[in-house]
Structure 1
Amino acid sequence: MPTLATNNEAIAVIIIFRVEPDRQTKLLETIAEFLETVKEQPGFISSSIHKSLDGVKVANYAQWQSVEDYEAFLNDADVQAKAAKLRTFSPPDAHTYEIFISESKVGTPQIQTGEYVVHIAEFRMSPENQPAMVELAKEHVKPAMELPELISATFHRSFDGTRVINYGHWRDSSAIEELRKQPGFGSESPYWEGIAENEFHLYEVLFTEPAT
Structure 2
Amino acid sequence: MPLISPDDGHLTVFNVFETDTAELQDDVLDAMRDIVDHADYPGWISSTLHAGIDTPGTANYIQWRSLADLQARYEGQKFRGKTVPQFHKLARTTRLLQTELEFTQQRPGLGDTVEISPDRDDHTVLIILDTTPDNQKELLETLARPDEWITTVPGYVSHTYFRGLDGTYVVNYAQWESKELYDAFHHLPEEQRPADVRAGRVRARELVTGRQANTYRVTHSRSATTD
Same-fold call, TM > 0.5? yes
Identity among equivalent pairs (%): 21
In structure 2, the residue matched to 1:29 is 30
Measured on the aligned residues, the alpha-carbon RMSD in Å equals 2.1
In structure 2, the residue matched to 1:137 is 143
Check 1:173–1:73 CA distance in 2 against 1; reply closer, same or farther (3 A cut).
same
In structure 1, the residue matched to 2:66 is 66
* 8 Å Cα contact 1:100-1:156 kept in structure 2: yes
Q: Please say if 1:155 is aligned against 2:167.
A: no
Q: Please say if 1:109 is aligned against 2:114.
A: yes
Unaligned 5+ runs, structure 1: none
- CA–CA distance in 2 between the matches of 1:140 and 1:90? 36
Q: Please say if 1:206 is aligned against 2:206.
A: no
TM-score relative to the length of structure 1? 0.89
Unaligned 5+ runs, structure 2: none
- CA–CA distance in 2 between the matches of 1:200 and 1:112? 20
Check 1:64–1:92 CA distance in 2 against 1; reply closer, same or farther (3 A cut).
same
Please, which of 201, 204, 215 is the counterpart of residue 192 of structure 1?
204
* 8 Å Cα contact 1:125-1:162 kept in structure 2: yes
SS in 2 for 1:25: helix
- CA–CA distance in 1 between the matches of 2:133 and 2:149? 26
> How many residues end up aligned between the 2 structures?
209
In structure 1, the residue matched to 2:47 is 47
Check 1:47–1:159 CA distance in 2 against 1; reply closer, same or farther (3 A cut).
same
TM-score relative to the length of structure 2? 0.84
Check 1:79–1:198 CA distance in 2 against 1; reply closer, same or farther (3 A cut).
closer
In structure 2, the residue matched to 1:8 is 8
In structure 2, the residue matched to 1:128 is 134
Q: CA deviation at 1:81?
A: 2.6
- CA–CA distance in 1 between the matches of 2:168 and 2:52? 23
